Amino acid sequence: MENIFRKRRYLIPFRAVLLPQIFTDVLVIGGGVAGMRAALAADQHGEGVDIILTTKGTLKDSSTYYAQGGVAAVLAEDDTFDNHIADTHTAGAGLCDAPAVRTIIENAPEHIDQLIKWGMPFDILSSNSDGKTDQNVALGIEGGHSHRRILHADGDGTGKALAHTLHNQILENDSIRTFDNCFVLDLITDPDQQQCLGAITHHPRFGLQVIWAASTIVASGGCGQVYRETTNPAAATGDGIAAAYRAGAQLMDMPFMQFHPTTLYIAGAARSLISEAVRGEGAYLIDKNGHRFMPDIDPRAELAPRDIVSRAIIDQMAKTHHTHVYLDVRHLGDRFATRFPGIDRVLKSFGISATENPIPVHPSAHYMIGGIKTDLHGRTTLQGLYAAGEATCTGLHGANRLASNSLLEGLVMGARAGEAALESTLNPTRPSLKIVSDIRISDRAPLDLDDVRSSLRSTMWRNVAIQRTGPDLREVLNNINFWAHYTLDKIFDDRTGWETQNLLTLSALITQAALWREESRGTHHRTDFSQSTKQFHCHDLWSTDNDDPITSPIQTT
């Protein structure tokens, strides 16, 4: 990567002592499932800890709010932890870390019980065939799962229900202060970048502020906006991951972005997610000729892992010279609208009757598997900094995330990070108010930010998405480096500029990592290296200290 990505420590110049100062014990960055669960865990003992929870926008801006599928957990009598663990490893294509998989999966039931106590309205059905449990909670099935173990709420409104459940608990907790519309520009470290001391933030009303914290937790979500085609909300620009990278924390497994196979394809419209659970309930994928093609590709057909289904769709589109394929639910009849009321409403808003016509679908960027490296307590490689959720890489997902393991990871790891961060507040380091960021005024001509952002997202979609090849990746890097020279050297004073700088940084990291990994595995498919190899049976670790990645072995025990 170009030096400009590794040398730009902060996005803006500042002198900490001259800015408004806020002090707290625990700073949580992000208002999704991982962030809210971390904040609640940090005060679980009621010990008078002061917690600040910052959100880039509001509750509805998080990816959690839009999650449709559900939460995976072993609750049925005919299911076991070992089954769920095996399914996760199979989907992960050899890169899952065994301790992470077992820890998160085995902790699932207690977190589900806690949610139920907090009033989470999981769907309840009377039919034993739908995986009814002792708690009378209905269980669905999704791609890659061997048993029914997906808990859902309001059919396809699980994320919204989960977000409201956790938010209600936040509102009842006097120890947690919420700062909405608070953009975190950077994590502040001591001059030697040995410890995280908090963050510098911007609020439309209050301007720049420094929040000093004994412990900081990044739970800011993923970076789907790197790609033109994405299911992610507009806020998913990877700001927390980029800030952690600039602060010196290691990132892990950056080539791996998961593409959801089925998003609604309407020309000119945003890509609305069509949940994995729709295929779990029996939907078929057909091409423009009405041919159901997945049984030709994989014995699991539509319930194969997402990477397999996404590539199959792309290949079928190429074979039929068509812009999309179709999800056929006509045989489900009225059951579709009952089970998926939210999706049905979206389809009807576009004039589509799912009982009469197949649904046009196309893959889109969905979930960032790589991210900030953490251990199983949310600790990063930077002292005082913790992380949880999609912004991180724990080793749970390997090279391809198993459906509905994401909300589960956010719950479990959010709680564990919050608990660990609380312990660090017992011996806080006194922050130095003399931290200074000096940035020279750029002497290069400006580029139009909207053009940079649009061009970046388009080239990432064309060349660093479901199918990749070395020459294209090198060309993309050249383009990103050019845009970076005229964008990362600038000082911006608004969210658009900061987001664009973060998107450039993450695009460069994803592309560089994809170029380095000369194999195909999970969500990372190189047409010039079509097989998986032992050489790359490892994690790739990226930081500002090195041009090339450090590798670490997969944990098997």
To which H or E segment does residue 485 belong? helix 470-485
Distances (CA, A) of 14 to 19, 224, 433: 8, 30, 11
CB atoms within 10 A of CB 357: 14
Active-site choice (306, 339, 416, 517): 306
Residue 375: count of CB within 10 angstroms of its CB: 16
Residue position matching structure tokens 């709680």: 415
- The sheet carrying 257-264 orders its strands as 257-264, 359-368, 325-328, 284-286
Closest alpha carbon to 428 in 27, 36, 39: 27
C-alpha span between 316 and 295 (Å, rounded): 13
Given a contact cutoff of 8 angstroms between Cβ atoms, the answer to whether 422 and 325 are in contact is: no
Query: Residue 23 forms beta bridges with which residues?
Result: 212
**Residue type at position 460:** M
Distance CA 340, CA 14 (A): 50
**What three-state secondary structure class fits 101?**
helix
Catalytic-residue membership of 444: no
- ∠ CA(145), CA(150), CA(152), 5° rounding? 155
Report the distance separating Cα 138 and Cα 258, nearest Å.
27
Both tokens assigned to 87 = 């399914």
Residues 184, 163: Cα–Cα separation, whole Å: 21
How many CB atoms sit inside 10 A of residue 114's CB?
15
CB atoms within 10 A of CB 121: 15
| Distinct helix (H) and strand (E) counts, the chain | 17, 21
C-alpha dihedral sign at 487, 490, 491, 492: negative
Alpha-carbon separation of residue 437 from 122, 190, 304, 474, 479 (angstroms) = 48, 12, 49, 32, 28
Is residue 446 classed exposed, middle or buried when 0-12, 13-18 and 19+ CB atoms within 10 A define those classes? exposed
3-state secondary structure of 476: helix
Distance of CA 360 to the CA centre of its chain: 25
Give yes or no for a contact between 435 and 191, defined as CB atoms under 8 angstroms apart: yes
Phi then psi dihedrals of residue 5, to 5 deg:
-75, -30
Q: Which two tokens stand for residue 300?
A: 């699991």
Q: Which two tokens stand for residue 249?
A: 């924390």
Tokens encoding 100: 């992470």
Catalytic residues, which ones? Answer: 306
